[in-house]
Chains A and B, each alone.
Chain A
């Protein structure tokens, strides 16, 4: 049955006739239209909710003072250099008037606000660009304010956090605006040389001279989701090359994939993320900060972990063949790099990218805490199912993976953090693109730099230690290995194929190659062997990591007490004798 126009409609009267008629209307500003999804939304929801569209989740530009409110502790912000004398180096017609107009419109004096504030109790020097002010273009005063803020931070030994946004150089100021790139970069270089932290957070849009200076110089570079980040603007590129640009080009996600960002952080998580990173970098003595363990763990430790070859008497009796160990080391349900990170560390914060070409998922790295002490952790990761295997390229790193690892190690050296590497790779990735980008160079560079890193470096072979691909993360003060892990110059298949022209003789090769933990310990290639349960899985991993934890604590105490020079000398001697 259709009901269209079937019902008689009401004959209307009204209640309280004679009373003044009320007129309903939406007050100015109560509703607005999202300029991203075009839906009508409540203005209040946008302002309370981090300037995010409640419908489509899109990010709006945030005025500088609002950004400061979102990120810092209440009433902790102290503005610096608010009043700057306006400059007009080219005597550009109408420029000063335009500046005045912008000042009235935005309530700001310039396109960047700088000062000191607290984030979760930690003092930082803060710079926040405001895109409403002449597209946050960088003229003399913007550059000057950034440079002064950085200089004060260097002097007071405080970390710097800058939220960037910019259309580029301020054309009205001509060549002087170009020089601001050099001025700000030079100030940041001094800040870095003083061993201090700089975090840049890139927001939409960060382009031109700001990208090509202080935006891209962070020790850690974060970005908001979906932000446009680039040197040349997309329109300019399109006009120049006469091609349509792909979707997502120059967006944060694109930059992350191409290795230029450490991470993309949603607005709601930014304060917490910044606070965590800043706390990792608080100045402290390496070993002093190791927290006391809980009593239960202490007794474990008191039981003592003696340096051992891992084979108990009984085990030696029922010898496991080398080939069997090779197979165990490759088992798909064997815990991989990130499982060890989870088991041994807290607060792991993954950092991405090599800053040149890409972010290689075969190597996972970042900062974490080991008994409260900040450490840099780098692990080769295979993944634990087919989908993950493909994502992590079966644990075979490409040059960008090694370059990311090296970048994180150099960062660790700058901030005095020990480095712990977990090795689990069949070998460095073998392919055309790996050679194009210099696989050999990348491995060589890692070995070269690691040999002289001024902080303690520990490597643990937890699965396969495949040749140069493994050594690039194992030029360390000590190398440890799990009972059923292997470490060799080549896979047994490759070995038999090269020497015996028959890859099916891998089983024999495994024996000849002396690649098991026991052999390696005897040859003094590794310092410690960790016993494994019958079948090592993620579930019983604690059997291994509990002992490893105690041993690492000892390692930190021993090597943490050494000077940079002593560490370098020790590492040099370690490899020199081989």
Chain B
């Protein structure tokens, strides 16, 4: 039974979860850091508990404080959102030990999928295609150099515990291998305290296609179609859309089946995302599985009509999925633009500060998920994403026109944002033609 949920997060995702709870009649507990006293999530929740100082390590990443807050407030479940502790298996385990429902998969599943090498092995065994690469983690560069022969160039060196582009290097020429391996390993050691690396064939100019799945406690797994997240800068997604214009019904079915197979192989329960790389010949390869709600979940919500956060809560409460695969119909086209407080002209430097004035668009087919308001001061401590603008149209063209119009209406005064940068992408001919892949931003930046 879930009567009260503690939201172990901040920003727009915390607000998004609180809203779902309000609609469901579930009481909410927000936790906030000292820098977030004026944050929307803290104001909107039924209760709010300050859990520590501004640095995330002292607040949103402090497992013991969040657990204490949950127990003290009598919350019977914790929703971790994304980022912070959302993919921390120890946190999920601690919740379980304290009799608190963790809204997400079991700790063991998070752990298994969080280790890239193990995730890869699980997928290979389940018959899900993976990018050719090394099976064992490597620490010695010379040993890795030997293994590189088999993987083939160009290749990607990746940290076993990597994420967010840290500890990753592309290598095109064997002559550059040693330096690339050493610097990537050094970075990985600094960021994750772990120098285990592995190698992967670099798929030339692929698309990033990910499948949303939902799985309940009774073995039912359904996929909700794909999202095309190819518009990325340094592995940070900027624009996501659903459906992808390159997926035929047949390919969607094939990839969807693979995604379901992947989730089943991992013993997955709750909402999750399977990321694939799709090459020009429509070969797809499993990249990783994200064991949490995604930033870009609204585009899937719009084309399927499923409220993913509510679905997460219901699954955690032990309910069965209310639909089967054949009930899922993809309708229309949705696009999401991430609005970040950053300055694209100064190398995307974060631009925290006070929002003096703000006007956001609305109307049919426009959705805005945000946690900022006029007079709100964006703290320096956290992520620079301040809003998500999502549109829906009957087709891609209509959706693009709507996004162009909506972006043109956004006014945020007081801090720099990437709105104009997004506006330009939405007018780029290649984007309009759907001629996109993960190298898109690099190409237009070079122009």
On A, residues with C-beta under 8 Å from B are 1-4, 6-7, 9-17, 19-27, 30-31, 40-42
Contact B1–A13 (Cβ < 8 Å): no
Instruction: Given the known inter-chain contacts A16-B319, A42-B64, please indicate yes or no for A24 contacting B1, CB distance below 8 A.
Output: no
A57 CB → nearest B CB, Å: 14
What is the chain B residue whose CB lies nearest that of A8?
B22
Q: How far is the CA of A501 from the CA of B317 in the complex (A)?
A: 97
Q: How far is the CA of A7 from the CA of B24 in the complex (A)?
A: 17
Of B25-33, B149-157, B428-436, the one touching chain A: B25-33
Contact A15–B63 (Cβ < 8 Å): no
Instruction: Given the known inter-chain contacts A4-B43, A15-B1, A16-B317, please indicate yes or no for A30 contacting B97, CB distance below 8 A.
Output: yes
Q: How far is the CA of A195 from the CA of B375 in the complex (A)?
A: 77
What chain B residues lie within 8 Å of A6 (beta carbons)? 43
Is the CB of B3 closer than 8 A to any CB of chain A?
A: yes
Contact B68–A13 (Cβ < 8 Å): no
Instruction: Given the known inter-chain contacts A3-B38, A3-B40, A15-B317, please indicate yes or no for A27 contacting B97, CB distance below 8 A.
Output: yes
What chain A residues lie within 8 Å of B192 (beta carbons)? none
How many of B's residues come within 8 Å of A, CB to CB? 40
What chain B residues lie within 8 Å of A22 (beta carbons)? 1, 76, 99, 101
Instruction: Given the known inter-chain contacts A24-B98, A42-B63, please indicate yes or no for A12 contacting B76, CB distance below 8 A.
Output: no
Q: Which of A10, A27, A31 contacts B64 (CB 8 A)?
A: A31
Contact B44–A7 (Cβ < 8 Å): yes
Contact B26–A13 (Cβ < 8 Å): yes
Is the CB of B71 closer than 8 A to any CB of chain A?
A: yes
Contact A15–B2 (Cβ < 8 Å): yes
What is the chain A residue whose CB lies nearest that of B101?
A22
Contact A14–B2 (Cβ < 8 Å): yes
Q: How far is the CA of A248 from the CA of B26 in the complex (A)?
A: 54
On B, residues with C-beta under 8 Å from A are 1-4, 21-22, 24-28, 38, 40, 43-44, 46, 63-65, 67-68, 70-71, 74-76, 94, 97-101, 313-314, 317-319, 373-375
What is the chain B residue whose CB lies nearest that of A40?
B64
What chain B residues lie within 8 Å of A25 (beta carbons)? 71, 98-99
What is the chain A residue whose CB lies nearest that of B74?
A24
Q: How far is the CA of A456 from the CA of B1 in the complex (A)?
A: 80
B interface, over-half SS: mixed
What chain A residues lie within 8 Å of B2 (beta carbons)? 14-16
What chain A residues lie within 8 Å of B94 (beta carbons)? 30, 42
Q: How far is the CA of A13 from the CA of B317 in the complex (A)?
A: 13
What chain A residues lie within 8 Å of B100 (beta carbons)? 24
Contact A26–B98 (Cβ < 8 Å): yes
22 A-B interface contacts by CB (under 8 A): A1-B374, A2-B375, A9-B46, A12-B3, A12-B25, A14-B1, A14-B2, A14-B26, A15-B1, A15-B2, A15-B317, A16-B1, A21-B1, A22-B101, A23-B99, A24-B71, A24-B98, A24-B99, A25-B99, A27-B97, A41-B64, A42-B94
What chain B residues lie within 8 Å of A2 (beta carbons)? 375
Known: A14-B1, A24-B71, A31-B67. 6 other contacts (CB 8 A): A1-B375, A10-B28, A15-B3, A24-B99, A24-B100, A27-B98
What chain A residues lie within 8 Å of B22 (beta carbons)? 10
What chain B residues lie within 8 Å of A41 (beta carbons)? 64
Contact B25–A24 (Cβ < 8 Å): no
Contact A16–B318 (Cβ < 8 Å): yes
Contact A40–B27 (Cβ < 8 Å): no
Q: How far is the CA of A10 from the CA of B26 in the complex (A)?
A: 7
What chain A residues lie within 8 Å of B3 (beta carbons)? 12, 14-15
Contact B71–A26 (Cβ < 8 Å): yes
